[in-house]
Amino acid sequence: MSDGPTYGFDTLQIHAGARPDPATGARQTPIYQSTAYVFRDADHAAALFNLQEVGYIYSRLTNPTVAVLQERIATLEGGVGAVCCSSGHAAQIMALFPLMGPGKNVVASTRLYGGTVTQFSQTIKRFGWSAKFVDFDDLDALRDAIDDDTRAVFCESVANPGGYVTDIRAVADVTDAAGLPLIVDNTSATPYLCQPISQGATLVVHSTTKYLTGNGTVTGGCVVDSGNFDWSASDKFPSLSAPEPAYHGLKFHETFGNLAYTFHGIAIGLRDLGMTMNPQAAHYTLMGIETLSLRMQKHVENAEKIATWLESDPRVDYVTYAGLPSSPYAERAARCYPKGTGGLFTVALKGGYDACIKLVDSLEIFSHVANLGDTRSLIIHSASTTHRQLTPEQQEAAGAGPNVVRISIGIENADDLIRDLDQALTKACG
């Protein structure tokens, strides 16, 4: 879209990054199912490979369909650029890759998706990186955890599975004082409910698999760059501030300014890690984003109604939904997430582990799957599945204890979902 009026979210989610196809006039973004692109001549090819000109070389790096998605997500998040990749987990590695090095650490919230905890506590060790896990409600503990080797701070806006809401502005104040980038996973909230960059985040990551696509068809991830961080303010980020040997000494920040991180993500990250999003996946996600605001409104409406009903049920121990007035995070949710806190929360049953298993097996409308953010309502027992690799202490810290199920509320009729939960609770708890 051209510079000029400031468009609303509902308009941008349909139009940002997209223009009628110049060759055919096709209004929907075409799926450019091509691995490579013809150069105009030898000079054009050399300019592209030298990063002197922007264009398409090879679809591991850039693809026109994916480029539209990147611009759309960046626009909705208020960023200057974005890099899409093959999954949300790929996006997390892509986000850290330009920042980290052997012996460096990331300080991460204890309230993270179990797969992220495993990735950060185990897998990244193979790169020589490490992670420190801190309760982000304790800002003093966060400050104390940051040391000379810290290169990033990582949290989720609305945490999976418990629906915990982060005070991003408060955390950003700590990272700003330390001269560090704040990375916020905004998968559960989406830019409709929360725009972390406007609250001080440096980078935003997404599993586009979830709410952005919204239909459970493809996996994908995205890293959004705010363009607000000074990568040359210290010597902590040489990948962005120092000469890059692979490009004859080019300095990304000096050359590309506020787009340095985005260019690095493509020219180095996708080039060497190869975590590419395919154009078909980008197409499905673009179609999903066109209805994002409508779906999120319905997710929130349903979640508030169903969480209220569950909280009053005697078979339920507690519900973690931050949108409930009884939540310890109700004030923070109203202040930081005024449109709602999404459709994800956990439910603890008085019958414990066995009741949780029976509940999952007794539901008819809810689908028992390892996913969230679908139009369909989903449920899973996290302790025995997505968070199985964690210690009992880590499970409890993440809100995924053995007596807890995670519920992702879809956009079906809320009364139908309540009836389904009621009959399943009867079978599970009596």
CA 262 to chain centre: 17
Q: How does pLDDT run along the chain (430 residues), one tens digit per residue?
A: 555 568 999 999 999 999 888 888 999 999 999 999 999 999 999 999 999 999 999 999 999 999 999 999 999 999 999 999 999 999 999 999 999 999 999 999 999 988 899 999 999 999 999 999 999 999 999 999 999 999 999 999 999 888 899 999 999 999 999 999 999 999 999 999 999 999 999 999 999 999 999 999 999 999 999 999 999 999 999 999 999 999 999 999 999 999 999 999 999 999 999 999 999 999 999 999 999 999 999 999 999 999 999 999 999 999 999 999 999 999 999 999 999 999 999 999 999 989 999 999 999 999 999 999 999 999 999 888 767 777 777 777 767 788 999 999 999 999 999 999 999 999 998 7
Residue 2 to residues 7, 13, 15, 17, 283, Cα–Cα distance (Å):
11, 15, 11, 10, 22
- Say whether domain 292-429 belongs to CATH 1.10.10.410: no
How confident is the model at residue 1, as a pLDDT?
Answer: 56
Whether the ω angle into residue 238 lies within 30 degrees of 0, i.e. cis, is no
Query: What count of other Cβ atoms lies within 10 Å of the Cβ of residue 31?
Result: 17
Token pair recorded at residue 297? 């409104």
- The reported pTM is 0.95
Comma-separated ranges of CATH 3.40.640.10 domains in the chain? 9-288
Cβ atoms 35, 59 nearer than 8 A: yes
- Secondary structure, 3-state, the chain: CCCCCCCCHHHHHHHCCCCCCCCCCCCCCCCCCCCECCCCCHHHHHHHHCCCCCCCCECCCCCHHHHHHHHHHHHHHCCCEEEEECCHHHHHHHHHCCCCCCCCEEEEECCCCHHHHHHHHCHHHHHCCEEEEECCCCHHHHHHHCCCCEEEEEEECECCCCCCECCHHHHHHHHHHHCCCEEEECCCCHHHHCCHHHHCCCEEEEECCCCCCCCCCCCCEEEEECCCCCCCCCCCCHHHHCCEHHHCCECHHHHHHHHHHHHHHHHHHHHHHCCCCCHHHHHHHHHHHCCHHHHHHHHHHHHHHHHHHHHCCCCEEEECCCCCCCCCCHHHHHHHCCCCCCCEEEEEECCHHHHHHHHHHHCCCCEECCCCCCCCCEEECHHHCCCCCCCHHHHHHCCCCCCEEEEECCCCCHHHHHHHHHHHHHHHHC
CA atoms within 13 A on the CB side of 262: 24
Token pair recorded at residue 390? 């964690």
Comma-separated ranges of CATH 3.90.1150.10 domains in the chain? 292-429
- What is 9-288's CATH number? 3.40.640.10
